[in-house]
Amino acid sequence: MTTEPSTTKRQLRRSLGLREAAAEFWRHPSPWMIGGMLVAAAAARVAVGNWQPTDALVPAAMLAVFPFAEWVIHVCILHWRPRRLLGVTVDSLLARKHREHHGNPRDVPLIFIPWRTLILLIPTLIAIALLAFPRTGLGLTFLLTLGAMGLVYEWTHYLIHTDYKPRHRIYRAVWRNHRHHHFKNEHYWFTVTTAGTADRLLGTYPDPETVETSPTARNLHAAGPTRR
Protein backbone atom coordinates (compact mmCIF):
# COMPACT_ATOMS: atom_id res chain seq x y z
CA MET A 1 0.00 0.00 0.00
CA THR A 2 1.07 3.74 -0.64
CA THR A 3 0.64 7.32 0.42
CA GLU A 4 0.87 10.84 -0.88
CA PRO A 5 4.37 11.66 -2.17
CA SER A 6 6.02 14.70 -0.65
CA THR A 7 7.13 17.53 -2.91
CA THR A 8 10.72 16.44 -2.35
CA LYS A 9 10.99 12.67 -2.38
CA ARG A 10 12.59 11.43 0.83
CA GLN A 11 15.04 8.58 0.26
CA LEU A 12 16.40 6.44 3.08
CA ARG A 13 20.12 6.39 3.76
CA ARG A 14 22.37 3.40 4.18
CA SER A 15 22.93 1.32 7.36
CA LEU A 16 19.67 2.30 9.01
CA GLY A 17 19.16 1.27 12.64
CA LEU A 18 15.79 0.46 14.20
CA ARG A 19 15.77 3.68 16.23
CA GLU A 20 16.38 5.78 13.13
CA ALA A 21 13.79 3.76 11.20
CA ALA A 22 11.19 4.30 13.93
CA ALA A 23 11.87 8.04 14.01
CA GLU A 24 11.21 8.24 10.26
CA PHE A 25 8.16 5.97 10.54
CA TRP A 26 6.40 8.32 12.94
CA ARG A 27 6.94 11.33 10.67
CA HIS A 28 4.16 10.09 8.39
CA PRO A 29 0.39 10.46 8.91
CA SER A 30 -0.70 6.86 8.39
CA PRO A 31 0.89 5.40 11.58
CA TRP A 32 -0.61 8.20 13.67
CA MET A 33 -4.07 7.75 12.18
CA ILE A 34 -4.06 3.98 12.64
CA GLY A 35 -2.40 4.29 16.04
CA GLY A 36 -5.01 6.83 17.14
CA MET A 37 -7.78 4.42 16.16
CA LEU A 38 -6.01 1.65 18.06
CA VAL A 39 -5.63 3.69 21.25
CA ALA A 40 -9.23 4.94 21.11
CA ALA A 41 -10.56 1.41 20.50
CA ALA A 42 -8.48 0.02 23.39
CA ALA A 43 -9.71 2.71 25.78
CA ALA A 44 -13.32 2.21 24.72
CA ARG A 45 -13.00 -1.56 25.01
CA VAL A 46 -11.71 -1.33 28.58
CA ALA A 47 -14.45 1.14 29.48
CA VAL A 48 -17.23 -1.06 28.05
CA GLY A 49 -16.03 -4.24 29.73
CA ASN A 50 -18.32 -7.29 29.43
CA TRP A 51 -15.51 -9.59 28.35
CA GLN A 52 -16.62 -12.92 26.90
CA PRO A 53 -14.91 -15.94 25.24
CA THR A 54 -15.73 -14.54 21.79
CA ASP A 55 -13.37 -11.64 22.57
CA ALA A 56 -10.55 -14.15 22.18
CA LEU A 57 -12.12 -15.94 19.22
CA VAL A 58 -12.47 -12.84 17.04
CA PRO A 59 -8.75 -11.87 17.14
CA ALA A 60 -7.74 -15.50 16.51
CA ALA A 61 -9.99 -15.69 13.45
CA MET A 62 -8.76 -12.31 12.17
CA LEU A 63 -5.11 -13.36 12.51
CA ALA A 64 -5.83 -16.54 10.54
CA VAL A 65 -7.58 -14.60 7.77
CA PHE A 66 -5.15 -11.67 7.65
CA PRO A 67 -2.59 -13.15 5.17
CA PHE A 68 -5.41 -13.98 2.76
CA ALA A 69 -6.88 -10.49 3.18
CA GLU A 70 -3.45 -9.02 2.37
CA TRP A 71 -3.25 -11.19 -0.74
CA VAL A 72 -6.73 -10.26 -2.00
CA ILE A 73 -6.22 -6.53 -1.36
CA HIS A 74 -2.82 -6.61 -3.03
CA VAL A 75 -3.99 -8.52 -6.10
CA CYS A 76 -7.48 -7.08 -6.60
CA ILE A 77 -7.14 -3.48 -5.36
CA LEU A 78 -3.48 -2.45 -5.41
CA HIS A 79 -2.70 -4.17 -8.71
CA TRP A 80 -5.97 -3.08 -10.28
CA ARG A 81 -5.56 -2.41 -13.98
CA PRO A 82 -7.38 0.84 -14.99
CA ARG A 83 -10.55 0.09 -16.95
CA ARG A 84 -12.99 2.15 -18.99
CA LEU A 85 -16.59 1.62 -17.89
CA LEU A 86 -19.36 3.63 -19.54
CA GLY A 87 -16.80 6.11 -20.79
CA VAL A 88 -15.25 6.63 -17.33
CA THR A 89 -11.80 5.41 -16.29
CA VAL A 90 -12.07 3.37 -13.07
CA ASP A 91 -8.80 3.68 -11.20
CA SER A 92 -8.63 4.13 -7.43
CA LEU A 93 -6.21 6.30 -5.47
CA LEU A 94 -4.78 3.15 -3.87
CA ALA A 95 -4.03 1.58 -7.25
CA ARG A 96 -2.47 4.77 -8.62
CA LYS A 97 -0.25 5.27 -5.61
CA HIS A 98 0.75 1.62 -5.58
CA ARG A 99 1.92 1.90 -9.18
CA GLU A 100 4.01 4.89 -8.12
CA HIS A 101 5.36 2.80 -5.23
CA HIS A 102 6.49 0.07 -7.64
CA GLY A 103 8.08 2.73 -9.82
CA ASN A 104 10.14 4.04 -6.90
CA PRO A 105 10.17 1.57 -3.98
CA ARG A 106 12.58 3.79 -2.03
CA ASP A 107 10.31 6.85 -2.00
CA VAL A 108 9.35 6.70 1.68
CA PRO A 109 5.96 8.49 1.61
CA LEU A 110 4.75 6.12 -1.10
CA ILE A 111 5.25 3.14 1.21
CA PHE A 112 2.33 4.08 3.47
CA ILE A 113 -1.44 3.83 3.10
CA PRO A 114 -2.64 7.18 1.69
CA TRP A 115 -4.05 9.45 4.39
CA ARG A 116 -6.94 10.36 2.09
CA THR A 117 -7.91 6.68 1.99
CA LEU A 118 -7.73 6.41 5.79
CA ILE A 119 -9.96 9.47 6.24
CA LEU A 120 -12.75 7.46 4.62
CA LEU A 121 -11.72 3.98 5.77
CA ILE A 122 -11.41 4.59 9.52
CA PRO A 123 -14.98 5.96 10.01
CA THR A 124 -16.26 3.06 7.91
CA LEU A 125 -14.47 0.55 10.12
CA ILE A 126 -15.81 2.26 13.25
CA ALA A 127 -19.35 2.05 11.87
CA ILE A 128 -18.89 -1.65 11.10
CA ALA A 129 -17.55 -2.26 14.61
CA LEU A 130 -20.51 -0.53 16.25
CA LEU A 131 -23.30 -1.78 13.97
CA ALA A 132 -22.34 -5.20 12.62
CA PHE A 133 -21.61 -7.05 15.86
CA PRO A 134 -24.11 -8.46 18.38
CA ARG A 135 -22.56 -6.46 21.24
CA THR A 136 -20.53 -3.27 21.45
CA GLY A 137 -17.64 -4.90 23.28
CA LEU A 138 -17.12 -7.46 20.54
CA GLY A 139 -17.18 -4.78 17.86
CA LEU A 140 -14.55 -2.84 19.80
CA THR A 141 -12.44 -6.00 20.07
CA PHE A 142 -12.64 -6.28 16.29
CA LEU A 143 -11.61 -2.63 15.88
CA LEU A 144 -8.78 -2.97 18.40
CA THR A 145 -7.42 -6.07 16.65
CA LEU A 146 -7.71 -4.44 13.23
CA GLY A 147 -5.83 -1.37 14.46
CA ALA A 148 -3.02 -3.52 15.84
CA MET A 149 -2.76 -5.52 12.62
CA GLY A 150 -2.85 -2.34 10.53
CA LEU A 151 0.01 -0.83 12.51
CA VAL A 152 2.04 -4.04 12.20
CA TYR A 153 1.39 -4.03 8.45
CA GLU A 154 2.53 -0.43 8.04
CA TRP A 155 5.68 -0.97 10.15
CA THR A 156 6.61 -4.23 8.39
CA HIS A 157 6.04 -2.83 4.90
CA TYR A 158 7.95 0.34 5.75
CA LEU A 159 10.89 -1.51 7.33
CA ILE A 160 11.26 -3.85 4.33
CA HIS A 161 11.76 -0.82 2.09
CA THR A 162 14.39 0.74 4.33
CA ASP A 163 18.08 -0.16 4.49
CA TYR A 164 17.59 -1.95 7.80
CA LYS A 165 19.20 -5.37 7.40
CA PRO A 166 17.25 -8.47 8.52
CA ARG A 167 18.76 -10.08 11.60
CA HIS A 168 16.29 -12.86 12.37
CA ARG A 169 15.15 -15.79 10.26
CA ILE A 170 11.41 -15.00 10.28
CA TYR A 171 11.83 -11.36 9.32
CA ARG A 172 14.48 -12.28 6.75
CA ALA A 173 11.94 -14.56 5.03
CA VAL A 174 9.29 -11.81 5.03
CA TRP A 175 11.84 -9.27 3.77
CA ARG A 176 13.00 -11.57 0.96
CA ASN A 177 9.40 -12.43 -0.02
CA HIS A 178 8.38 -8.81 -0.54
CA ARG A 179 11.59 -7.81 -2.27
CA HIS A 180 11.08 -10.66 -4.75
CA HIS A 181 7.70 -9.07 -5.51
CA HIS A 182 9.26 -5.68 -6.22
CA PHE A 183 12.54 -6.63 -7.87
CA LYS A 184 11.99 -10.12 -9.31
CA ASN A 185 8.42 -10.46 -10.56
CA GLU A 186 5.32 -8.48 -9.57
CA HIS A 187 3.01 -11.39 -10.40
CA TYR A 188 4.09 -13.38 -7.32
CA TRP A 189 4.75 -13.00 -3.56
CA PHE A 190 1.77 -10.81 -2.63
CA THR A 191 1.75 -11.16 1.16
CA VAL A 192 3.65 -8.52 3.13
CA THR A 193 3.67 -9.46 6.82
CA THR A 194 4.17 -13.19 6.24
CA ALA A 195 6.02 -15.37 3.75
CA GLY A 196 4.82 -18.64 2.27
CA THR A 197 1.34 -18.51 3.83
CA ALA A 198 -1.43 -17.28 1.53
CA ASP A 199 0.99 -17.13 -1.40
CA ARG A 200 1.82 -20.79 -1.03
CA LEU A 201 -1.82 -21.85 -0.82
CA LEU A 202 -2.93 -19.59 -3.68
CA GLY A 203 -0.17 -20.52 -6.09
CA THR A 204 1.96 -17.36 -6.01
CA TYR A 205 4.97 -18.69 -4.09
CA PRO A 206 7.26 -20.23 -6.73
CA ASP A 207 10.93 -21.03 -6.37
CA PRO A 208 12.55 -17.69 -7.33
CA GLU A 209 15.14 -19.57 -9.37
CA THR A 210 12.39 -20.77 -11.72
CA VAL A 211 10.88 -17.30 -12.29
CA GLU A 212 12.11 -14.87 -14.91
CA THR A 213 12.85 -11.32 -13.83
CA SER A 214 9.90 -9.23 -14.98
CA PRO A 215 10.56 -6.14 -17.11
CA THR A 216 7.40 -4.53 -15.69
CA ALA A 217 8.03 -4.91 -11.95
CA ARG A 218 8.85 -1.19 -11.82
CA ASN A 219 6.16 -0.22 -14.34
CA LEU A 220 2.96 -2.10 -13.56
CA HIS A 221 0.63 -2.90 -16.47
CA ALA A 222 3.16 -1.82 -19.10
CA ALA A 223 3.41 -4.07 -22.14
CA GLY A 224 5.40 -7.17 -21.28
CA PRO A 225 5.19 -10.91 -20.60
CA THR A 226 2.13 -12.05 -18.67
CA ARG A 227 2.21 -14.36 -15.68
CA ARG A 228 2.43 -18.04 -16.62
Question: 190 and 204 in contact (C-beta within 8 Å)?
Answer: yes
AA letter at 62: M
pLDDT of res. 223: 52
The pLDDT score that the predictor gives to residue 222 is 82
Cβ–Cβ contacts within 10 Å for residue 43, how many? 12
Q: Is the pTM of this model over 0.85?
A: yes
Q: pLDDT at position 15, please?
A: 65
Cite the beta strand spans of the chain per DSSP E: 83-85, 88-90
Per-residue pLDDT of the chain in tens (228 residues, 90 and over written 9): 433 344 345 554 556 789 999 999 999 999 999 999 999 999 999 999 999 999 999 999 999 999 999 999 999 999 999 999 988 999 999 999 999 999 999 999 999 999 999 999 999 999 999 999 999 999 999 999 999 999 999 999 999 999 998 989 999 999 999 999 999 999 999 999 999 899 999 999 999 999 999 999 999 988 544 444
Of the candidates 217, 183, 187, 221, the one whose C-alpha atom is nearest the C-alpha of residue 203 is 187
pLDDT score, position 227: 44
CA distances from 159 to 15, 23, 108, 193 (A): 12, 12, 10, 11
CA angle 113, 116, 117 (to 5 degrees): 55
CA–CA separation, 133 and 172 (whole Å): 38
